[in-house]
Every structure is written in C-alpha cells, then in structure tokens.
Amino acid sequence: MSRRQISEADVAKYWDIFAHHSNNGTQLSGDQAFSILSNSGLSNDQLAKIWDLADIDKDGDLDFEEFCVAMRLIYDVYNGEFKSVPARLPDWLVPESKAHLVAAAGALASGGERFERPPEDDDTPGLKDGFDWYMKPEDRRKYEGIYTANAGAHGQISFAALNELYAEINVPDTEVAAAWNLVNSQRQPTIGKDQALAFLHLLASRHDGYRLPRSVPPSLRSSFENNKVNFDIESVENLPAQRRSAPDTSTSSGKKAAFGESYITRLGLGTGGYNHSGTDFAASKDADWEEVRLKRQLADLEAKIQAAEKSAETRRESKTALVKRELEMMLEYKRRELRDLDEGGSAVEGGKSIKAVREDLEMVREQVNALEQHLHNREAALKGLLAEVDQERSRR
C-alpha cells in the first residue's frame, strides 16, 4: 500500500472503531484509546511516541483526524513500513486542517529571531519577589487607557507603538523585551488586548521593583492563544508578494519584520503559497465517505429520539403510577371505614356506631309495639266501661 495517503476504505474502517470507542463522541481520551492501542502489540514506549505525534493540538485527546494518524502510524510500524516510530510526523500524514499547528511547532522548535532574553537568574540588586498577576481595577483602567491610545484599527498593538512608554519607565530594555516575550510566545509582530494588558502590568510591576516571572499561568496563556487572527491588511503577512521588500535588519523594528516574514514563510503563507501534500480528511466527497458521515448523523438522531421517548415514557409511567397509588389508597381507606362502621369499631355522628344505632332502633321498635298493645287493651277496656254505663242508663 502506498504511504502517500490514507485510503477511503481505511478512513471508514477507522471511523467505525472511533465511533464505537468514543460512544459517538468527537474526542477519544487516553483511557478510551488504551484497549485499541494495546491490541496492536507494540511496546508502551512506541505507543507513547505515536500518541505524542498524533495528538497534534496537544489537548490530551484524539479527534477523528488525529485518531486516523495514530492508527496509520501503528499499522506502518507493525508492518515494517517504518523501522521505528518516526521522530516527526511525515508530511503526507499531516491533516490539512492541522498543518498550521505542525508548522508552528516546527518553527518554535527550530528557533527564530527574537528579542535577547536576560539570564534566567536575575541578580539585579534591590528587586523584590512576589510578583502578582492580579490587576487592581484602577490599574486595569490605566492599562486599558494606554492600550486604547496605541492600538491599531483592529485592536492589535505592536512593540514599537509603546516606545514613548519605555522611555518614561525605569525598566531596562532587556527586561522590556523579556516581558514582551512572556506574553507573545507565538512571536507575532503584534499582540491583542489581553496580551497588551498583561504586558503593561509586567512593566508596571518591574517599574515598582518586582522581579519579572519566568512563565505565564496556563489559563492566561490560553486566553492569549485564542486571539491569533491579524486583521491588519497592511501587515506583512497580508501584503501581496510584489509589495513586500526585504526589511532592514539593522533596526529593532526591521528585525521584527524580518522574523515575521521568516515565520510566515515557515507557515506556508509567504511568497509562493503553501503547497501541502498532507491528507485532507474533510475533502473526500465520494459515496463511501458520505455514507460514513450519514451513518453517524443517523446514529446521533436515533440516539436523541430514543432518549426523548425514554424520558417521555418515564414521565408517563411516573404520573400513571402516582394516580394509581392514590386511587388504591383512597379505596382501601373507604373499605376500612365501611368495615369499621359495620363492626362498630368506628364512631359516627352522636358518638354511636351503626350497630349501636340499629340496636337502639330495635329497642324503640319493641317499645312502640308494647305501647301500641297497651293502647289497644286500654281502648278495649274503655269500650267495656262505656257499654256498662249505657246499660245502666237504660235501666233507669
């Protein structure tokens, strides 16, 4: 098999593996990838080197493109295409979407012109330790005022734009350059607002006698790296080739411009364009690759539908079970109440049960019957007496 590209069949095969182990996610963690990598039979050292090469964006996980790179490296090492894990990622295996990251990493690794940095051990007498990255609100407002007054139309600020400030503060040029390097690790000719505020804070602290830190906190460095777009149409990387001229390296600004041109060339954005021969995983348009993408979309939709149906069914079952339980409890209560009433175990109005009421009614009925019989007897006796009186009157 040619080592100049990853075939569509391989991409589809890798996708099935990736989708299964990532649970149809977009990233594959080290724990999720462990079983896949360990099944290759390669040593842990080899797998660690392959992981480092494949994790191009260095986020600790593998997206699908990076996973394809890792799988191809594993197969080529296992099959003897590579005698050992290569020291750097082959150009043909670099995803086009991440080519700029590989180029930037290569530029940083090979070095480049930058401001002279003072020794790591700053023995300048009188300096204090305890630099604090926290900016007080009043200090931040002051920094923002300086930034606004010197920033370009698109919010970028160059090193030379603050030359007047450097002359007014009690900070050596080497320390000014060191502060600029701290906030501009990507060696860009201009920096954004967050970087500028941090740069001014470094200078203000150094002016107040505090020793500069030797690194930037990861969270702050991450916010710097989120702003990499240069909108300045007059900047060197956006100038047509015919308008660019060789910068004068005898001046500080000229050195910066020369380095900028060199860096742009490394990224493939300079004169002549960038002709990358890597694998473009996003450019395939044939039916097989479309089918793979559609299968994933269908699987995502089915998973969402199943989750929605399960949630709705759970809610319906929960509501039905609650109503049923309430009705059963009500029925049981009524049955118990009726049983208690029948057995005389529960009092009704007046403090008597139905059984007691029935007994009272029966006694009253007997008394009524007795009274009716007594009345009947008395009426018969009265009739006898009246008959005797009538007879006595007739005799007279």
- Domain with 34 in it: 8-93
pLDDT tens-place string over residues 39-63: 888 888 888 889 888 888 888 888 8
pLDDT band at 353 (very low <50, low <70, confident <90, very high): low
| pLDDT at residue number 19 | 87
State the amino acid at position 117 in one-letter form: R
* 194 close to 227: Cβ distance less than 8 angstroms: yes
| CA separation for the pair 10, 206 (Å, rounded) | 56
Q: CA of 221: how far to CAs of 185, 191, 236, in Å?
A: 9, 12, 25
- The pair of structure tokens assigned to 139 is 């200090």
Is the CB of residue 53 less than 8 Å from the CB of residue 86?
Answer: yes
More confident residue, 253 or 277: 253
**Domain end position, chosen among 224, 250, 267:** 267
**pLDDT classification of 142: cutoffs 50, 70, 90:** very high
Question: What does the pLDDT look like over 158-209, one tens digit per residue?
Answer: 898 898 898 888 889 889 988 998 888 777 888 888 899 999 999 999 998 9
Note whether residue 109 is domain-resident: no
Say yes or no: 142 and 257 in one domain. yes
pLDDT band of 236, cuts 50, 70, 90: very low
User: Do 150 and 63 fall within a single domain?
Assistant: no
Query: Do the domain assignments include residue 330?
Result: no
| Dist. CA 118–CA 184, nearest whole Å | 16
Q: Give the pLDDT band of residue 122 (cuts 50, 70, 90).
A: low
Is there a domain that residue 344 lies in? no
Task: Kindly state whether residues 74 and 146 are assigned to the same domain.
Answer: no
Query: Mean pLDDT across the stretch 322-340?
Result: 82
Mean pLDDT, the chain, as a whole number?
75
Is 317 a domain residue?
A: no
How confident is the model at residue 119, as a pLDDT? Answer: 45
Q: Are 80 and 176 in the same domain? A: no
**Where on the phi/psi map is residue 95: left (φ > 0), alpha (ψ -120 to 50), or beta?**
beta
In this predicted structure, what is the pLDDT of residue 197?
92
Q: For the domain that residue 223 is a member of, what is the CATH number?
A: 1.10.238.10
Structural domain count, the chain: 3
Q: What is the pLDDT of residue 198?
A: 92
Per-residue pLDDT at 117: 45
Position 237 scores a pLDDT of 42
Give the end of a domain, one of 243, 267, 291: 267
Taking each helix axis as running N to C, give the angle between helix 193-207 and helix 137-150, from 0 to 180 degrees, rounded to the nearest 10.
Answer: 120
- Which residues neighbour 214 within 8 Å (Cβ) at sequence distance 6 or greater? 120
- 353 neighbors 346 (Cβ within 8 angstroms): yes
Per the DSSP assignment, residues forming a β-bridge with 210 are: 128
Residue with tokens 């994933």, as numbered in its chain = 296
List phi, psi (to 5°) of 132.
Answer: -120, 125
Q: Are 151 and 253 part of one and the same domain?
A: yes
> Is residue 13 situated within a structural domain?
yes
Same domain for 73 and 160: no
pLDDT: which is higher, 268 or 94? 94
84 and 142 inside one domain = no
Q: Is residue 307 part of a domain?
A: no
Residue 39 is assigned to a structural domain of this protein: yes
More confident residue, 35 or 204: 204
Integer Cα distance of 180 and 193 in angstroms? 13
In a domain, 26, yes or no: yes
Q: Are residues 83 and 194 in the same domain?
A: no
Q: According to DSSP H, which parts of the chain are helical? A: 8-21, 30-38, 44-54, 64-78, 99-110, 137-150, 163-168, 173-183, 193-207, 218-225, 252-267, 287-343, 354-395
Residues 257 and 157 in one domain: yes
